Amino acid sequence: MKRIKDFIKKILLVDEGPKPLFSRKLLSPIIKLNKNDFEYCEYGNLNKDKTFYVINRSSHAGIFSYLSFVLNHLNIAKQYNFIPVVDMENFTNPYNEKDKIINTLNSWEYYFNQTSNYDLKEVYNSKNVVFSRNDFNKNMNYRIHLEPKFRVFKGKEIKLKQIYIDYVKDYFEKNNLENKKILGIHFRGTSYKTSRGHIFPATKSQMKKNVDEILSRENFDKIFLCSEEKNYLDFFIKNYKDKLLYLNTYRSDKNDAFKKYNREHHRYLLGDESIKEALILSKCSSLLFVRSNIINAANFFSDKEQNLYEIFNGFNSRNQFISTFLWFIKKTLPTNFYGLKNDLIKSKN
């Protein structure tokens, strides 16, 4: 019976997302002590006058969900005067590679500088170490671009590796985009169509209708497309070839980005490509999108006021079985008869 149930789950139910390639085991602390609603761990005698806050999470989340997670815990560290440090070496996530990238095993440091001037080796030899919760709980906010309290960390605790700043600068110079007006577009496909509890993605007809309307109202020189679905890229090439810009990132029409390994350091590169695309989106004048962490990050990193155009179709079912089929059914139904909501929400940052 168990084998039959496992088979049904494998065939019919939604894949909950990418898993880490492996896990590591952190050494146990010498002493644990509960005080002030935190569990204090002692690993050694260093830094007796300091308390370190280890931000940790192991889940199937994407790179910018991790950014949101870190920002929420930086706010907690600030409240209690803890020193924050992100450990994505001992607490692995889907982006960790087994060997070192940029001379580190900590996947946070593939893309960002550490959140303080202390490394993990020193932290795990220190007197006072507190661990964050490792779940994205109801008290946390993933819409990081709308929270002023998170802005104070940008360029300080949250600081991108210089290679990304240089990459975007070079990209705009090479493509002669410095003074161009660009419409940034981000549409998720693949797993967004079946992920339980997630916002429904747009249909192709919604994409074209809204892109055409925005282009008719505003004079854009270029369109920059960010999407992990190859089918969507082909659609935009067919309809907007003369204006279209995009990066040659990994794309597929299946939810297999974390399953296929057709290049060295593939998982690191998936995060690398997402960050490059988000930073280019951050330089665009306007953004058209279905809500996602990539758009939240793009607007968070933007130094300009961007027009935000959101296509909102409502949310998928929380039921894992129903969510597998619901978007495909609703996209065929009229809006006034259980079809997709088809709302376009315009707001300014």
- CATH number where 301 lies: 3.40.50.11350
Residues 6 or more apart whose CB falls under 8 angstroms from that of 324 comprise: 12, 13, 14, 194
Rounded Cα–Cα distance for residues 194 and 323 (Å): 5
Q: Let me know whether 144 and 183 are in one domain.
A: no
The total of structural domains in the chain comes to 2
Range with lowest mean pLDDT among 137-151, 153-167, 170-184, 233-247:
137-151
Domain boundary (151, 186, 203) is at 151
Element (H, E) at 6: helix 2-12
Rounded Cα–Cα distance for residues 102 and 160 (Å): 14
Evaluate if residue 1 carries a pLDDT over 70: no
More confident residue, 348 or 343: 343
DSSP 141-171: -S-GGG-HHHHTTBTTTB-B-HHHHHHHHHH
Domain boundary (131, 151, 171) is at 151
More confident residue, 115 or 58: 115
pLDDT winner (highest mean) among 112-116, 137-141, 333-337:
112-116
More confident residue, 188 or 163: 163
Q: Give percent of the chain with pLDDT exceeding 90.
A: 66
Evaluate if residue 82 carries a pLDDT over 80: yes
- Round to the nearest angstrom and report the end-to-end CA distance of the chain: 53
Q: Give 12-68 pLDDT, tens digit per residue.
A: 555 567 888 878 888 788 878 777 678 899 999 999 999 999 999 988 889 999 999
pTM for this predicted structure? 0.91
Phi, psi dihedral angles at 248 (to 5 degrees): -85, 75
The sign one gets for the Cα dihedral 168, 174, 179, 185 is negative
146 part of a folded domain: yes
Q: Structural domain of residue 340, as residue ranges? A: 163-348
Rounded Cα–Cα distance for residues 289 and 86 (Å): 30
Query: In whole angstroms, how far apart are CA 349 and each of 68, 195, 222, 300, 311?
Result: 18, 28, 21, 9, 16
Domain boundary (120, 151, 182) is at 151
